[in-house]
Structure 1
Amino acid sequence: MDVRRADERYRGGDPAAGIESLHAFSFGPHYDPDNLRFGAVLACNEERLAPGAGFGEHPHSHTEIVTWVVEGELTHRDSAGHESVVRPGDVQRLSSAGGVRHVERNDGPVPLRFVQMWLAPLEPGGDPAYEIVHGIADSTPYALPEAGAMLHVRRLAPGERTAVPDAGLLYAHVVRGEVLLDGETLRAGDAARVTDAKDLEAVAGSGGAAEVLLWEMTAG
């Protein structure tokens, strides 16, 4: 298990424009040839947008983009005609495929915080696709067959335990609270990259509720 701490993330964004970004993987000017991806996961970005701030229209291609809102509301518009507001508990997926452009903004009155994860598709090209699942339950994994991956959301009460999926590759990102995973304490913003995950449990700390995102992937 390779643990990466929140304070090791690359800082980005544009604070003067109300945008703060933390990148878990090599990103933009922060090029690190030893940290390009883990399995299908290419990026895990924590974004904070002040009210009225956002990312203007920009392109993506050959990437599966999955967004999880932590606080606030995210307004999404894309060149394929989709427009939606993503709220905490929703899973949003944009398959950029052969190419799509989108806008992401905080049009709400309070600060917005979200986690956005980029995954590599098994096959390039195709037509863009969009999906939003409102209020996903902990017991309902979100399948992303285009990337050979599955997202599990775990929201835990203090001291609560949960089984972690067995997987050839497992990427765990702590959204809030404190989680004990295989003897390692992970706090908000920390992540673990696990190879050959088997019979693992995640346990929330006693200090408060915890939330963790788990990507289950096959080793290839």
Structure 2
Amino acid sequence: MAQVVWRAADRYRGGEAEAGIETRHAFSFSGFYDPGNVGFGLLVACNEERLAPGAGFAQHPHRDIEIVTWVLQGELEHRDSAGRDAVVRPGDVQRLGAGSGVRHTERNAGSGPLRFVQMWLVPGAFGTEPEYEVVRGIADNTPFALPRTEAVLHVRRLADGERTAVPDAAFGYVHVARGQALLDGGDTVLHEGDAARLTDPRERELCARGGAELLLWEMHAEPRYG
């Protein structure tokens, strides 16, 4: 049973400050490459994004990747080449299954700051039909099973002192979206923006300290290419 804690301060810095975009990468991404940190389980990106009002990403392509977005503050507008248009708000889960290929834009559609976490996972099948969905106001303890993968997202919003188990899987990924949490009630404190990468995380738990919002990935496989 192994664990690696990746602190918020150690995330790779990206984005374009002059364009109102600030990004923090948990894994190798774009111009940042570390051969020892290219992914964990099926997860190959976990980006914290902050966009100023009106700022965003111009139309760009994706292929054979599953993109899951969790908004923490503000309103994220999505538009894609299939004609889909949606605004994603806090509490919503957005999924873009790029499949055989899709182009999309993302921007801050609100009048205030936008903050979101975007996570990319490798699918179990390639060249499939592109898919898109938004689950509105996902409830605590409601698992979101990612289609075409062996991965499940769990959202936990915990009061001070409240506990939750880490889902049992070959790979467990914990991202602290807000607040703080203790891992296994011990000395490992996860602060906002920190993440824990857990191998075979059975019988492990998290305890909120002062309240916490957690994104927990349950992954049962590693990427299979070809």
TM-score normalized by structure 2?
Answer: 0.94
- The unaligned stretches of length 5 or more in structure 1 are none
1:168 Cα shift?
Answer: 1.1
Please give the per-residue CA displacement for 1:66-90, whole angstroms capped at 9, x wherever unaligned. 0000000100001111110000000
Which consecutive segments of 4 or more residues in structure 1 shift more than 6 A?
none
1:151 Cα shift?
Answer: 0.2
> Does the CA contact (< 8 Å) of 2:166 and 2:172 recur in 1?
no
**Is the partner of 2:170 in helix, strand or coil?**
strand
- Once superposed, what is the RMSD of the aligned Cα atoms? 0.9
Q: 188, 198, 219: which is aligned to 2:202?
A: 198
Q: What is residue 59 of structure 1 aligned with on the other side?
A: 61
Q: What is residue 187 of structure 1 aligned with on the other side?
A: 191
1:219 Cα shift?
Answer: 4.2
Q: What is residue 73 of structure 1 aligned with on the other side?
A: 75
Which deviates the most, 139-148 or 110-119?
A: 139-148
Q: What is residue 151 of structure 1 aligned with on the other side?
A: 153
Please give the per-residue CA displacement for 1:79-124, whole angstroms capped at 9, x wherever unaligned. 1111100000000000001110000000210000000000001111
TM-score normalized by structure 1?
Answer: 0.97
> Does the CA contact (< 8 Å) of 2:87 and 2:109 recur in 1?
no
> Does the CA contact (< 8 Å) of 2:150 and 2:221 recur in 1?
no
Note if 1:140 corresponds to 2:142.
yes
Please give the per-residue CA displacement for 1:109-153, whole angstroms capped at 9, x wherever unaligned. 000000000000111111100010000011210001312100000
Q: Which amino acid in structure 2 is aligned with residue 61 of structure 1?
A: R
Residues paired across the two proteins, number? 218
Q: Percent identity?
A: 65
Q: What is residue 215 of structure 2 aligned with on the other side?
A: 213
Q: Which amino acid in structure 2 is aligned with residue 198 of structure 1?
A: R
1:167 Cα shift?
Answer: 1.3
Closer, same or farther: CA 219–99 of 1 in aligned 2, 3 Å: closer
> Does the CA contact (< 8 Å) of 2:156 and 2:214 recur in 1?
yes
Q: Which amino acid in structure 2 is aligned with residue 69 of structure 1?
A: V
Closer, same or farther: CA 59–219 of 1 in aligned 2, 3 Å: closer
Equivalent-residue separation in structure 1 for 2:82 and 2:161 (angstroms) = 44
Within 5 Å, give how 1:21-170 maps onto structure 2.
21-170=23-172
> Does the CA contact (< 8 Å) of 2:54 and 2:110 recur in 1?
yes
Which deviates the most, 112-121 or 27-36?
A: 27-36
Which deviates the most, 175-184 or 149-158?
A: 175-184
> Does the CA contact (< 8 Å) of 2:70 and 2:118 recur in 1?
yes
